[in-house]
Structure 1
Amino acid sequence: MTKKARTNSDWSAARPVLPATGPRRLALYRELRGQIEAGRLSPGDKLPTTRDIAARFGIARGAAVAAYEMLAADGFAEARVGAGTYVAAAVPSLQKEASPQLRNAPDAVAPLPGTLGCSTADATTLRIFRMLMNRHLTNPSPRHFHYNDPAGSHALRVEIAAYLKAARGVNCDPEQVIMTSGTQQALDLAIRALLKAGDPVWIEDPCYVMARKVFAASGMQVVPVPVDGEGLDVAAGARLAPQARAVYVTPSHQYPLGVTLSMARRLQLIDWAQRAGGYIIEDDYDSEFRFSGPPLSALQGIDGEGRVIYVGTFSKTLLPGFRIGYLVVPWTVRERVLEVRQLTDRFPSTLAEDALAEFLRDGHFSAHVKRARRRVRAARDALMTALEEAGLEDGGLHVMPPEQGLHLVAHLPAGIDDGALVEIAADAGFGVRALSPLYAGATDRRGLVIGFSGFEAEVLAQAARRFIRDPRFLALSGR
């Protein structure tokens, strides 16, 4: 039986590139051998004739003949009389140290019920937003084809300014609104534009961990200031760091404790900023979700001296995946913030901005928030019912139904390992976060921070019941 010759159909793509210097026969040998070992030339592939390969590479035919002879001698090629030279059927191989393999990114996994940071977009919202996005893709604006304003779409900033004035009492011109890719970028822009390494900055204690990290990573002197039933203790902050240059605060719904900064403290904080020449960075992350009575106006709305940097986001109301947030800045710092914005991230996504501007302008956002608020409230109530049914007060777990926001705190007695409870909850399919690590230093406060946004009410309640019935939870809680 004769072997059927197989001609390499893609030799032109696989052909080697020889180095500029060095013996030609060795260079050709090494390149061909490397291609055979890498599998780019397969067993049975026919190699070009020595005359052809010499012409291709501009080398002497004798160098090509010598290279082929070396390949055959080493077992990488075989010469067939009257047929030519072929890649050997059994190519020798050397044991090589295994190279590290890059791990494939795991597929996205749905968060466990109770996980923080989940949004509440529904089918109606997604359908409308998809329609708006399709409209702008079908008839794209000329803005999509060149570099955008670093502040973002003017049309969107007009809608945001109008919304903030009506819903949050924020006093601003559209030109004071600067679009960002979320809260984290907003904080980074404010830090880069207004502060310098070593500046003391007050942060709430406990606090949103990523905010604390971004201040620390930027070289700020982070000063944790205690939070009590009225919010940030301004007097304590003035004692701890009277020369602070800024304060980061969540006044409408303190994260994670959920308290609201009292009006007396608000006025005290603004007075401090005016006297110290410092800035208040107001993170108003979930004020749309209030279930009883109107929220207090934003700090920015009662600041008459341009000391408040207002931070807002659509991550909680729409989808974190949109990556759309914004800053409202005083006129005095606008140009500095825009300069940093342009240097670090030239401009936001024009396509998403145009769709969102229409979503706001045509009333879809207000309707969406109303629907989302009803779902979130139902989930909160179902979670509270599940926790109350367990009689957790007997075990020392104290939970108060929050009147605002997207999470609650279940307080535990001192000495209980809230980190261990997080692991037990995860085993039960319930996503919670420990309270104690959210403090800057050692604390005897223990608790679980539980989200109730983005989950069906009964699914959330069932996850909570599985957790509180787990024997390990019962043992740790002393029940």
Structure 2
Amino acid sequence: MTVPTPALTIEIDRQQQLPIYLQICERFRTAIAAGHLRPGDRVPALRGLATQLNTARGTVELAYTILVDEGYLQMRGAAGTFVSASLPASVTRSSRAQGVQAARARQGAAGADSPQPPPESRDGRAAPRQAALTVAMSGEPRPLQPGLPALDAFPRKVWNRLVAQRARSGERAMLAYPDPSGYRPLREHIATYLGLSRGVTCLPEQVFVTGGFRATLELVLRSLARADDRVWFEDPGYLLARDFLTETGVQLVPVPVDGEGIDVERGTLLDAQARFAVVTPSHQSPLGHTLSLARRMALLDWAGKASRWIIEDDYDSEFRYLGRPLPALKSLDRRDRVIYCGTFSKVMFPGLRLAYVVVPERAVERVGKVAHSMNAGSPMLLQAAVADFIAQGHFARHLKRMRALYAERRVLIVHALEKAFGERLIVDLPPGGIQFAVQFAEGPDGPVDDVAVAARARKAGLAVLPLSIWHANSRARRTRRGLVMGFANIADADEAGRLARTLRACLDG
């Protein structure tokens, strides 16, 4: 049976700063939300829509690819492209209803969110974890270090020139105490960049510049958390965030992660009344999965029903090697419950110690007061240089070069690992990021002791981390055993082969 293509009028505005392919994506999302396109409907063919819009076929193809990656559309070969039959009900809900809910949410009681600084506590169970992190996350860069961008490929001459120009400018602001909220031009550039590349619509006033993700978490929790708040946390999940959250006194609720990201249904069963969820939707840390559209909508529904907060850690989503970077979870947030966190550590270099957070409008005043009370603020010289780096186009060019470079380097290490380990190692390469996790195949004597393997690797000069310690219970039978490693600094195939052979020797002891 032939499925008709519904009449659909799509208009684009060539005066908008938003690229045409992103405008097309937004028009389709709106049409699906409003019910003009329903699950199973065929959408216009690439050539036909390109002709209708008087734009290149490649532009429409890029938009369709993004919508397929997000889960809105499905490509069925010669049959055509269709609205996904498995769209969650919350996606197809009337956009009018969403608007009413968003308005009501913005009128919500600020008192219900009023914070109390969480008390500090210590977790004494992390000795093996701390030993691994001390070597892998600090000091001199080491081979295969997770989360480390390509230091050899950063445009240092350009950067040095920009910093020197700012230092010689004689601006008094460069010498004064920094604005705790961040350098205003940098906040403006961040807001523009997020709107164009991540689908996050925000004002510069919502952007706060911090000294790293840990500083971002501290600012958010001091502003919005109460003592003993319960927090959903991915299991396995980002080590440094878990350790810091434990220290603050909030109660972590480990929620399992599978191929679709955090299991929202399981999280609801474990603790439906938690007030926060800390997630990595674009590139789950450490497994690399992308949070599915159904899970995204379920998570947003969970947060919107009871004034909960979602902290979205979007740490390295700029680097995606299959299609364009996916829009952020925040781009789907109609109730203003997502706190979006980004960093310059992965896209430039970690020595900057610069990150940022986009807070919901209702929380701007509160977060601003806490930022001032913390005497927060990063050096204005570096913030101004980053603003110049973005404004002069160096940032966009650098990202483009790094995507191509990292795509090559990750293939080098994967081939080397497969050659060195054979069937002893399972490599499930994610579509993005600058690190990935591999798992050891279980041997005749049972699961591999990945902590011991990583310890031997550290002695050999490598900075890999055992995968098991990213789990809430690293000793459970179901815990994954393997290694988390970075690949951005691998220079060539020879180096990749040498590193893989060293790791293989560590497996054998």
More off after superposition, 140-149 vs 169-178: 140-149
Higher alpha-carbon deviation: 446-455 or 260-269: 446-455
SS at match of 1:226: strand
Confirm or deny that 1:437 pairs with 2:462: no
CA-CA distance at 1:467 after TM superposition? 2.1
In the other structure, the counterpart of 2:331 is 301
CA distance in 1, matches of 2:495, 2:295: 35
TM-superposed deviation, 1:400: 2.0
- Give deviations 1:124-159, integer Å, cap 9, x for gaps: 621111101111111132312433322111111111
**Map of 2:218 onto structure 1:** 188
The one-letter amino acid of 1:473's match is L
Q: Deviations over 1:378-428 (max 9, x none)?
A: 2211101101223521x3x11122220011211123521001111232344
Q: Structure 2 length normalisation: TM-score?
A: 0.69
1:110 and 1:142 map into 2 onto residues whose CA distance is 34
> 2:502 corresponds to which residue?
467
Residue 269 of structure 1 and its aligned partner are, at CA, apart by: 0.3
Instruction: Pick from 280, 283, 290 the counterpart of residue 253 of structure 1.
Output: 283
Kept after mapping to 1: 8 A contact 2:463/2:485: yes
Query: 1:166: which partner in 2?
Result: 196
- Which whole-Å deviations, capped at 9, do the CAs of 1:407-452 have from their partners, x for residues lacking one? 1211123521001111232344433110111101143321111111
1:400 to 419, 424, 428: 428
* Identity across the alignment (%): 43
1:411 aligns with 2:410: no
1:339-350 to structure 2, matched below 5 A, reads: 339-350=369-380
Unpaired runs of 5+ residues, structure 1, are 1-105
Q: Is the 8 A contact 1:452 1:460 kept in 2?
A: no
Q: Distance in 1 between matches of 2:434 and 2:141?
A: 15
- Work out which of the residue numbers 354, 366, 380 in structure 1 matches 2:384: 354
Distance change >3 Å, CA 123–CA 199, structure 1 → 2: closer
Q: Cα–Cα, structure 1 residues 323 and 253, in superposed 2: closer, same or farther, change >3 Å?
A: same
Structure 1 219/434 Cα, relative in aligned 2: closer, same or farther at 3 Å?
A: same
Deviation at 1:237, TM superposition (A): 0.8
Q: CA deviation at 1:296?
A: 2.4
Q: Tell me how far apart the structure 2 counterparts of residues 175 and 324 of structure 1 sit (CA, whole Å).
A: 17
Find the partner of 2:453 among 410, 417, 421. Answer: 421
Give the CA deviation at 1:116.
1.2
Of the three residues 185, 190, 194, the one matched with 1:155 is 185
Cα distance change on mapping 1:145 and 1:449 into 2, 3 Å:
closer
Q: Conserved in 1, the CA contact under 8 Å of 2:210 and 2:376?
A: no
C-alpha distance in structure 1 between counterparts of 2:154 and 2:467, whole Å: 35
Report the equivalent of 2:13.
Answer: none
Post-superposition Cα deviations, 1:13-52, rounded to whole Å, max 9, x if no partner, equal xxxxxxxxxxxxxxxxxxxxxxxxxxxxxxxxxxxxxxxx
Is the CA contact (8 Å cut-off) linking 2:154 and 2:348 kept in structure 1?
no
Change (3 A) 1:461 1:171: same
Q: How many aligned residue pairs are there?
A: 366
Task: Give the 5 Å matches for 1:255-334.
Answer: 255-334=285-364
AA aligned opposite 1:413: A
- CA–CA distance in 1 between the matches of 2:208 and 2:150? 25
Q: Do the aligned residues in 1 keep the contact of 2:262 with 2:295 (CA within 8 Å)?
A: yes
Deviations 1:72-111 (A, max 9, x none): xxxxxxxxxxxxxxxxxxxxxxxxxxxxxxxxxx9x9643
Does 428-437 or 206-215 show the bigger shift?
A: 428-437
Is the aligned partner of 1:233 residue 2:266? no
CA contact (8 A) 1:248 1:281 kept: yes
Contact 1:382/1:460 (8 A) holds in 2: no
Give the whole-Å Cα distance in 1 for the aligned partners of 2:495 and 2:315: 22
SS at match of 2:232: strand
Quote the residue 2:4 is aligned against.
none
Cα 1:191–1:459 shift into 2, 3 Å: farther
1:209 CA drift (Å):
1.3
Q: Which amino acid aligns with 1:140?
A: G
CA contact (8 A) 2:238 2:286 kept: yes
Q: 1:124 to 1:193 in 2, by over 3 A?
A: closer
Letter in 2 for 1:136: R
User: What CA distance in whole angstroms lies between the structure 2 residues aligned with 1:267 and 1:443?
Assistant: 31
Q: Is the 8 A contact 2:420 2:501 kept in 1?
A: no
Contact 1:379–1:460 at 8 Å: present in 2 too? no
Matches within 5 A, 1:209-224: 209-224=239-254
Counterpart of 2:451, as a letter, is G
* 1:316–1:330 CA distance, 2 compared to 1 (3 A): same
Distance 1:311 1:236 in 2: 24
Report the counterpart of residue 93 of structure 1 in structure 2: none
In 2, Cα distance between equivalents of 1:425 and 1:284: 29
1:446 equivalent in alignment to 2:478: no
The offset of 1:324, in angstroms, is: 0.6
Give the Å deviation of 1:196.
1.1
Q: How far apart, CA to CA, are the structure 1 residues paired with 2:222 and 2:154?
A: 39
Check conservation: 1:113, 1:463, Cα contact below 8 A.
Answer: no
Contact 1:205 1:224 in 2 (8 A): yes
Structure 1 residue matching 2:155: 3-state secondary structure: helix
Please tell me the residue identity of whatever aligns with 1:455. I
Contact 1:121 1:317 in 2 (8 A): no
- 1-side partners of 2:180 and 2:245: how far apart? 23
